[in-house]
Chains A and B, each alone.
Chain A
Amino acid sequence: MDEQFPGKLSRRNVLRIMAASCAAAAGMALQAKPSEQSELSAQAETPIPYHPKFFTQEQMRTLDVLSEAIIPADEHSPGASAAKVSQYMDVIVSSGSSKEKTLWQDGIASLDRMAKRSGYEAFRHCSPPQRDLLLAQLSEQEGHLETTLARFFVAAKEATIDGYYTSAIGIHEDLQYRGNSYLLDFDGCTHDEHKS
């Protein structure tokens, strides 16, 4: 499922949302005709590129790599990059306080300095094993937020959690959340061993 941010809504999604709104207003179910469906499918191939509101393209790349390292793709489901968590980070930081903005700006710079001190390139260019080594060090500081980098890592991790588990990928593919639907009845516990 597409992630839906204002700047990167595919035409298909815009049409779908508009059509759904109109149908709801008219009290009718939404059903596209077959010819319209094929047209909509073709439009889905050309997503509109995302234009960051706050971060530079390089910073966006760093956040994309960092968030994917925190919640990576695995055999079960896609990761934070596919869920476009960096775009979520851009949205929330762009509307955040100047203090938050400074933390993210300084944090990204500190992360790159940390990588270079370890003899690597900037974080976004690090290999997966190099990123893993750096994150292991950062994760050790999760309980002691004394440095800008430690505070940034926790902020980035929390934003990754928020962004990923509120995305269609996180909700439907990873957690396989079954709710937010209409039921005729609620069965309650169906485990024989737990029923009272």
Chain B
Amino acid sequence: MHPRRTQKLDHKASAVCAQTRDNAEVKAAEQIFDVCVIGSGPAGGVLAKELAESGAKVSLVEAGRLARPREFHYHAWPYDFPDRAWSGPGYPPEVTESIRYEDSDITVDRIRVVGGRSIHWNAVCLRFAERDFKEKSTEGIEEDWPLTYKDLAPHYSYVEKMIGVTGSRENLDIVPDGEFLPPLKLRCSEEILKAACAKMGIRLIPTRKALLTQPYDDRPQCHYCGHCMRGCDVGAIFSVPVAVLPKAEKTGNFTLFENKLARELMIDASGSVRALAVVDTVTRHEQEIRARIFAVCCGAVEGPRLLLNSRPARYPDGIANSSGLVGRYLGGHAASNLLGYLEELEGTAPVNNDGALDHAFIPRFNHLDQKKRDFSGGYQYQMNYMGFMFPYQAKALKGYGKDFKKRVRELQPGFLHIATWGKVLARMENYVTVDRSRTDAYGIPIPVVHFKFGDNDRALIKEGVENAREMLHVAKCALVVDSDSRPVGLGSHETGTTRMGRDPRTSVLNGFCQSHDVKNLFVVSGSCFTTTPEKNPTHTIMALAVRTARYIASETKKVNT
């Protein structure tokens, strides 16, 4: 069944390109698109589809190529590879080589491929809470967003129905309920932790992710192989090429440009963007893609890179940068892992625990007490997304020989991974810029990332890890493989580098992800977040993409009537 299914998905994804690739060059030379969307990840993919369905002629420009589902190493074994690793495709060397980190605490993981990060994500989809849009009003930190939960709620619902999200209704203000498919079932380790958490007054609930627990929208349900982050071969996890682009293609309004790396945005005499200059990463051919409206959807590093590299005489500091804040307020998440080995499961018979990686989730709870803290913001816990194949405890155990080997084996069934995911405070001194003295393989100045965790971030993660350790203690562990409470980041959740706000002096975009300075320019990605709570960003990114599409469609209609 599965090769045929894979082939069907390959065909589904390929059809998107096959129908557009041949005439894309001709179209680019001749056509002025209504909207040019740059970047084909969750933001760009959803935005392009929504606009195409509204009747706009849309071009979607992607620096990478279309990777067919079978090219990913799902279902492979480590011993299938010489170095016993899964060295998957999609990470051309020039991508990682072209980022420079200046004394940074973080790494940025990127993928240049049609579908962007939707190709290899863990698909956690959490609505932000009402308070998450009002950090200044609620906690006295950062800024309030120029929109509220109520503004975004219908778009969250729309996205959930579009992509299929598993979850359970829990009636918790901190993670508002949505339109859910049946929840994932908990493993024994998660049941034991749930009972321990209950003793501590903490709620552990089924996770919420864009994963199908039943057939949905012509996509099959999950088969629980545990390879969610290596590309899903049957499309049970939401990805742009499988679930979105075929719909865009069906409209007849959609053109995909593969392997086109954005060089700069070109403006006309009025200061509006008139074209995107791109270089073909295969042929090195340079061309311009013209449109009436442009949407930069390249994420929080490549997005500001493009804006800062677009420096016509009229905008010497980069386009959309009158505030000087393009690239500033780089945020995301801090994370820290603990591995516990539960006494109750020690030595039990091995079972297939793979499932869909994390099945359980502990929402933020530190806002519920009145305790005075030396930090603001919250943390949540996600668990078991490291997989169940490798015995991580082996490297924490001293010794050697038969006893060592036996101990590794005995502990394995009780494995429980719990990860603290904490808010990172939006701070101006964390930023992305470009280094004009250094260029990538195509002569484009490279991005430079400056990031340091602050006292708030460290204190927050410290408390989160202490609580995780307490949960494992209550659940009774034979071994806990400790982290040292130092945060790592940004968990592929970079945000904040073209933030939204009401005041053009202190923000780059308005509440519809539209540039304050250049009205036909939009930026949709984690970069437009004003602040970032402890929750995973992609659901909110897609909801913003839908909202922006509606706004563009309605504004365009106003102009045309």
Q: Which residues of A contact B (CB under 8 A)?
A: 1, 3-6, 23-29, 69-72, 74, 76, 79, 88, 91-92, 95, 132, 135, 139, 142-143, 157-158, 161-163, 165-168, 171, 174-191, 194-196
B226 lies within 8 A of A180 (CB): yes
Q: Within 8 Å of chain A (Cβ to Cβ): is B355?
A: yes
In the complex, besides A6-B82, A70-B404, 13 extra interface pairs with C-beta distance below 8 angstroms are: A27-B3, A74-B406, A95-B83, A161-B394, A180-B75, A180-B227, A181-B354, A182-B2, A185-B224, A186-B355, A190-B351, A194-B188, A196-B195
Tell whether B554 is near chain A: CB-to-CB under 8 Å: no
What CA separation (Å) do A71 and B391 show in the bound complex? 13
User: 21 A–B contact pairs at CB < 8 A?
Assistant: A69-B400, A70-B400, A74-B406, A88-B84, A91-B82, A135-B400, A139-B400, A174-B405, A175-B391, A177-B350, A177-B388, A178-B350, A179-B225, A179-B354, A180-B227, A181-B352, A189-B185, A189-B187, A189-B191, A191-B191, A194-B191
- Chain B residues in 8 Å Cβ range of A28: 3
**Bound complex: CA of A161 vs CA of B398, how far in Å?**
12
Q: Given the interface contacts A175-B350, A180-B354, A181-B352, does A188 sit within 8 Å of B400 by beta carbon?
A: no
Q: Which residues of B contact A132 (CB under 8 A)?
A: 401
Which residues of A sit under 8 angstroms from B398, Cβ to Cβ? 139, 142-143
A187 shortest CB reach to chain B, Å? 7
| B224 lies within 8 A of A72 (CB) | no
Q: Please report the C-alpha to C-alpha distance between residue A185 and residue B185 in the assembled complex, in whole angstroms.
A: 10
A69 to B84 alpha-carbon distance, docked (Å): 21
Interface membership of B237, Cβ < 8 A: no
State how many angstroms separate the Cβ of A180 from the closest Cβ of chain B: 6
In the complex the two chains form, is A167's CB within 8 Å of B79's CB?
yes
Known: A161-B395, A166-B390. A174 touches B195 (CB 8 A): no
Task: Please tell me if the beta carbons of B352 and A183 are within 8 angstroms of each other in the complex.
Answer: yes
Give the Cβ gap from A28 to chain B, nearest Cβ, in Å: 7
A1 to B223, CA, bound (A): 25
Asked if B401 and A186 sit within 8 Å, CB to CB, the answer is no
B354 to A191, Cβ gap below 8 A? no
Q: CA of A190 to CA of B79 in the docked complex: distance in angstroms?
A: 30
Q: Report whether A74 and B402 are in contact in the complex, using a CB–CB cutoff of 8 Å.
A: yes
Distance A171 CA – B412 CA, assembled complex (angstroms): 12
Shortest CB–CB separation between residue B184 and chain A, in angstroms?
Answer: 7
Least CB distance, A195 to chain B, in whole angstroms: 6
Cα distance, A158 to B404, chains bound together (Å): 13
CB atoms of B224 and A186 under 8 A apart: yes
Expressed in whole angstroms, the Cα–Cα distance for A79 and B409 within the complex equals 13
Beta-carbon contacts under 8 Å, B503-523 to A: none
A64 to chain B, nearest CB (A): 15
- What's the nearest-Cβ distance from chain A to residue B403, in Å? 10
B93 sits at the interface (CB 8 A): no
Say yes or no: A187-B185 contact (C-beta < 8 A), given A24-B70, A171-B77.
yes
Judged by a CB distance under 8 angstroms, whether B275 is at the interface is no
Instruction: For B75, list chain A residues within 8 Å (CB).
Output: 180
In angstroms, Cα B409 to Cα A91, docked, is 26
- Taken residue by residue from 1 to 41, chain B's Cβ proximity to chain A (1 for < 8 Å, 0 otherwise) reads as 01110110000000000000000000000000000000000
Q: Are B354 and A27 in contact (CB under 8 A)?
A: no
Query: B80 interface residue, CB < 8 Å from A?
Result: yes
Interface size for chain B: under 10, 10 to 19, 20 to 34, or 35 or more residues?
35 or more
Complex interface: chain A residues within 8 A of B388 (CB): 177, 179
**Contact A165:B77 (CB < 8 A) given known A72-B401, A178-B351, A180-B354:** no
Q: Please, which residues of chain B bring their CB within 8 A of the CB of A157?
A: 400
A134 to B63, CA, bound (A): 55
Task: Tell whether, in the assembled complex, residue A70 and residue B3 are in contact, meaning their CB atoms are under 8 Å apart.
Answer: no
Which of B344, B352, B408 is in CB contact (< 8 Å) with A179? B352
Indicate which residue in B83, B188, B356, B401 contacts A135 across the interface (CB closer than 8 Å): B401
CB pair B350–A194 under 8 Å, yes or no, is no
Contact B394–A174 (Cβ < 8 Å): no
Chain B nearest CB, measured from A61 CB (Å): 19
Most interface-central of A3, A74, A175, A185 (chain B CB within 10 A): A175
With both beta carbons as reference points, the residue of chain A lying nearest to B355 in the complex is identified as A186
> Could you tell me if B223 and A189 are in contact, using CB atoms closer than 8 angstroms?
no
- Give the contacting residue for B409; candidates A26, A72, A76; CB below 8 A: A76
B428 part of interface (Cβ distance < 8 Å) = no
CA distance A162 to B409 in the complex (A): 15
A191 touches B350 (CB 8 A): no
Of the candidates B194, B195, B225, which one forms a contact with A180 in the assembled complex, judged by CB atoms under 8 Å apart? B225
Minimum CB–CB distance for B77 against chain A, Å: 7
User: B357-390: which residues lie under 8 A (CB-CB) from chain A?
Assistant: 359, 388-390
Q: In the complex, how many angstroms separate the beta carbon of B70 from the nearest chain A beta carbon?
A: 7
The answer to whether B353 has its CB under 8 Å from any CB of chain A is: yes
Cβ B344 vs Cβ A194 within 8 A: yes
Residues of A within 8 A of B84 (CB): 88, 162-163, 166-167
User: Which listed residue, B391, B401, B412, touches A69 by the CB 8 Å rule?
Assistant: B401
What is the bound-complex CA distance between A5 and B394, given in angstroms? 24
Of all chain B residues, the one with the shortest Cβ separation from A92 is B83
| B295 interface residue (CB < 8 Å to A) | no
Tell me if B389 and A171 are in contact (CB < 8 A). yes
In the bound complex, do residue A72 and residue B226 qualify as a contact, i.e. CB atoms below 8 Å apart?
A: no
Bound-complex Cα distance A162 to B4 (A): 34
Cross-chain contact B224 with A165 (CB below 8 angstroms): no
In this complex, what residue of B is CB-closest to A7?
B82
B152 at the interface (CB under 8 A from A): no
Q: How far is the CB of A71 from chain B (nearest CB, A)?
A: 5
Residue with the highest number of chain A CB atoms closer than 10 Å, among B84, B188, B391? B84
With a CB–CB cut-off of 8 A, which chain B residues contact A177?
A: 350, 388-389
Q: Which 9 A-B pairs have the closest CB atoms?
A: A188-B185, A179-B354, A166-B78, A178-B352, A166-B84, A189-B188, A186-B224, A27-B7, A183-B224
B481 contacts the other chain (CB 8 A):
no
Chain B residues with CB under 8 Å of A179's CB are: 225-226, 352-354, 388-389
CB-based contact A182/B350 at 8 Å:
no
Q: Cβ of B186 and Cβ of A176 under 8 Å apart?
A: no
Complex interface: chain B residues within 8 A of A182 (CB)? 2, 223-225
